Amino acid sequence: MASQSSDFQTLSRRYTADKGFRAFIQKGMSGYYKKRDQNKANFQDWQGARDLAAEIKYEAINHLDKYLLEFEEKITARGAKVFWAQNAEAAREYILKVAKENNVHSIIKSKTMTSEEIHLNDALEKQGFGVVESDLGEYIVQLRKEAPFHLVFPAMHLTRRQISDLFQKELGSEPTDEPEKLTMIARDIMRRKYCEADMGISGTNFAIAETGMISITENEGNARLTTSLPKIHVALLGIEKVLPKLEDLSLFLPMLATAGAGQTMTCYNTMYAGPRQLGEPDGPEQMHIVLLDNRRTELLADAEQRDSLGCIRCGACLNICPIFKNVGGYSYGTTYGGPIGSVITPHLRGLKDWKHLSAASSLCGACTEACPVKIDLHHHLLQNRRNGAKTAPNPLEKISFGGFSLMMGHPSLYRLASGLGRIFQPLQGLVNGTILDPLRSWTDSRKLPTLAPQSFHEQWKKQRNRKL
Amino acid sequence: MRISLFVPCFVDQLYPNVAWSVVRVLERLGHEVVFPESQSCCGQPPFNSGYWDDARSSARVTMKAFRDAEVVVGPSGSCVTMIKAFYPDLFKGETDELAARELAAKAHEFSSFLVNVLGVTDVGAKFDGKVTFHDGCHGLRELGIKSEPRALLANVKGLELIEMCEAETCCGFGGTFAVKYATISTAMDEVKCASILETGADTVVSNDSSCLMQIRGMLEKEKSSVRSLHLAEILASR
Ligand code: SF4
């Protein structure tokens, strides 16, 4: 199906045409780069930390069977219920079932990209449950009926003015330009929602096998309230989120904060190890853990690209990606945007429909360099291209590269073509920039190089072979 | 030393002067340069597009052309990356894997060859002008070349190097990407060119002609007075 691919072309054209928008994103990022670099320098050895993180993730991903079972056993022992969801539907059904069985009326959520992946809000709302996002950025995009723009900064594409206008329209608040005031407007509403909610749904940054805990990291304190005030807490996580040991967090928490937001540590880092225990005064009565596969095991089976399951969703690869910075998050049409999204979406949602994302890259490798867990992102894009060409080749490309390799495979043909090129180049000059120009996608914005009067091959032959 | 010159196909067709500049610099340093004429293209375009069978047939021609070479030197971080970093992947498990690895081991990008193999940072060049340097992504991230071209430029008489703020940001070329996703590629080119112009340099230099083709394409279209030259052309000038 060409539609995802043509949607990407259309949207990416629209966003790149908007220079103001591009400058806005670029400016947002430049502040982040500075803080990120300062915090990277706080590590004794950032590259060493990356190596170690990659090693720990390698161990975890290669022994998921062991670590997930250990995690389940430990957290179940303290009264949490663990549900293994094979796919998005199973996960949604389970959460709906819990909500119905407990007569839930109102649901509050903290940030979870995994819930975007399984389209949870839609499913809940269709069944009549009110759902409110408690993360400020998520709340803003929810009010706009949009998906998050970025893994970590869901509303980074909006100006303060736009947010103020939105609040004015949706919440009847006074217009303001001050971030603190905007935050207070949302917080007021949120407070009420926390008290009303009888179910809190959260994501999970890390699950610790050794101790049977989940770790959530956040800056607003909203996840703490979401997970502790309502009587039911549901934590949703992909199966790849498990880490072997508690001490692994001493590396991953500062690393996530640094790579993700240029912070030394995120403001709130909390570990949850089960529902309210006997004798405890507060906390949820029930805790449900939904472990989501949703084709992750297929990615696990791919030895070449398995390391992409190590992703901690920090967003560093998006932040550095010159494609992302120009086309923005919505062009991708996926839950996970940017380089990591281009790598994993073909695995999670089908190569045929999503291989174009792997083609939409200059393969510059900035993502791989930025990734704290050393996922070989840009080489995976190459592998996706290879897999795509093998399973669903583009007929035109197949013919052209067939011809190309025939020509390059025979030095005499290469010389012949090089001569013909010189004959045809003036013809291109006649149509340069017009609709007839086959090279128009280049010539629209860039001047075409001209063939040298003689190739180096010919010049060398004349000048050097004569000498001999 | 007897050096076999690897000339990427588009340098062969579009920028023969770049190849000649490499010849001049190496000969001035007292080395013998040979050019195996049966070479054509390293196979990067089909490789990058996913057509690895087609890439292998181009690559085999390159491997054959340089089979007996002692060292292979080419003026392109990108095409040398194809040989050095990607041939071993491309031929993994194939009968030619050993040959691919052998060629990978003896192939060098021009600036890295000068500095790391020959141990030369001063080639006796002279160039009057303010220059800014663009790091081609393949050379930078696949081959780890960053200090070498700068060390060479630092010894060019009359040359002032002004670093641009986005030196390591991709120019947006990316082979077929530049035409398949022309608007994105152009947007990236705009960021790059703005960063070049911001330095006030009169010349932009790179060790990759493919990046320069992209950058020059936009600078010329915008009728900018900033010139673009390959590092070898600077090093060959006196
Ligand atoms: S791929 Fe790496 S850089 Fe990108 S979000 Fe995941 S962990 Fe972060």
The 10s digit of each residue's pLDDT in A423-448 is 666 656 666 666 666 677 888 888 88
* Chain A partners within 8 Å of B57 (Cβ): 405-406, 408-409
What is the residue-averaged pLDDT of chain A? 93
Q: Say if residues A404 and B45 touch (Cβ distance below 8 Å).
A: yes
- In tens, the pLDDT along B7-58 reads 999 899 999 999 999 999 999 999 999 999 999 889 999 999 999 999 999 9
What percent of chain B stands above pLDDT 70? 100
Which DSSP symbol is given to A450?
A: P
Nearest residue to B113 (alpha-carbon basis) of B204, B32, B22, B11:
B22
Contact B50 A362 (CB under 8 A): no
Backbone angles phi, psi at B91, to 5 degrees: -105, 15
Name the architecture of domain A43-115+126-135+186-294.
Answer: 3-Layer(aba) Sandwich (3.40)
pLDDT score recorded for residue A1:
46
Which DSSP symbol is given to B149?
A: H
pLDDT surpassing 60 at residue A253: yes
Distance (Å, rounded) from C-alpha A182 to C-alpha B67? 68
Which DSSP symbol is given to A207?
A: E
Q: Centre a 10 Å sphere on the Cβ of residue A180 and count the other Cβ atoms it contains.
A: 8
Distance (Å, rounded) from C-alpha B238 to C-alpha B230? 15
Query: Chain B contact for A412, CB < 8 A?
Result: no
* Full DSSP string of A108-155: EE---HHHHHTTHHHHHHHTT-EEEE-SHHHHHHHHTT---SSSS-TT
This model's pTM is above 0.90: yes
pLDDT score recorded for residue A408:
76
pLDDT score recorded for residue B186:
95
Q: Please tell me the number of Cα atoms within 13 Å of B11 on its side-chain side.
A: 31
Residue whose CB lies within 8 A of the most ligand 1 atoms, among A243, A317, A318, A335, for a mutation test: A317
The domain ranges of chain B are 2-116, 124-236
Q: Sheet containing A242-243: give its strands across.
A: A242-243, A206-208, A213-218, A268-272
Q: In angstroms, what is the span from residue A341 Cα to ligand 1's centroid?
A: 9
β-bridge pairing A81-85 and B203-206: unpaired
Q: Is A453 exposed, middle or buried (0-12, 13-18, 19+ CB in 10 A)?
A: exposed
Q: What is the mean pLDDT of residues A52-75?
A: 98
- Name the residue of chain A whose CA is nearest to B55's CA: A405
Q: Residue with the nearest Cα to atom 3 of ligand 1?
A: A371
Distance (Å, rounded) from C-alpha A365 to C-alpha A380? 11
Q: What is the mean pLDDT of residues A155-160?
A: 95
- In tens, the pLDDT along A293-345 reads 999 999 999 999 999 999 999 999 999 999 999 999 999 999 999 999 999 99
Q: What is the mean pLDDT of residues A49-72?
A: 98
Contact B37 A460 (CB under 8 A): yes
Q: Write out the two tokens for A1.
A: 């199906």
Q: In angstroms, what is the span from residue B124 Cα to ligand 1's centroid?
A: 45
pLDDT score recorded for residue A443:
83
Q: What is the mean pLDDT of residues A43-55?
A: 98
Burial B37-74 (b: 16+ CB within 10 A, else e): eebbbbbbbbbbbbbbebbbbbbbbbbbbbeebebbbb
pLDDT score recorded for residue A468:
45
Query: Chain B contact for A364, CB < 8 A?
Result: yes
Residue whose CB lies within 8 A of the most ligand 1 atoms, among A340, A343, A347, A378, for a mutation test: A340
* Chain A partners within 8 Å of B55 (Cβ): 405
Q: What is the mean pLDDT of residues B56-77?
A: 96
Q: Write out the two tokens for B59.
A: 């690559």
pLDDT surpassing 90 at residue A232: yes
What is the residue-averaged pLDDT of chain B? 96
Cα dihedral B204, B210, B216, B221, rounded to 10, equals -160
- In tens, the pLDDT along A99-154 reads 999 999 999 999 999 999 999 999 999 999 999 999 999 999 999 999 999 999 99
Q: What confidence tier does A207 reach under pLDDT thresholds 50, 70, 90? A: very high
* CATH topology assigned to domain B124-236: Rossmann fold (3.40.50)
Q: Say if residues B6 and B107 touch (Cβ distance below 8 Å).
A: yes
pLDDT score recorded for residue A429:
63
* Chain B partners within 8 Å of A441 (Cβ): 179-180, 182
What are the pocket residues of ligand 1 if the criterion is a CB atom closer than 6 Å to any ligand atom? A 259, 311-317, 340, 370-373, 375, 377
- In tens, the pLDDT along A379-392 reads 999 999 999 999 88
Q: What confidence tier does A197 reach under pLDDT thresholds 50, 70, 90? A: very high
pLDDT score recorded for residue A13:
93
pLDDT score recorded for residue B230:
98
Q: What confidence tier does A11 reach under pLDDT thresholds 50, 70, 90? A: very high
The domain ranges of chain A are 1-41+311-392, 43-115+126-135+186-294, 395-464
Q: Is A20 exposed, middle or buried (0-12, 13-18, 19+ CB in 10 A)?
A: exposed
Q: ipTM value, please give it.
A: 0.95
pLDDT score recorded for residue B127:
98
pLDDT surpassing 90 at residue A251: yes
Q: What is the mean pLDDT of residues B101-130?
A: 98
Q: What is the mean pLDDT of residues A265-273?
A: 97
pLDDT score recorded for residue B189:
96
pLDDT surpassing 80 at residue A36: yes
Residue whose CB lies within 8 A of the most ligand 1 atoms, among A241, A308, A311, for a mutation test: A311
Q: Say if residues A284 and A228 touch (Cβ distance below 8 Å).
A: yes
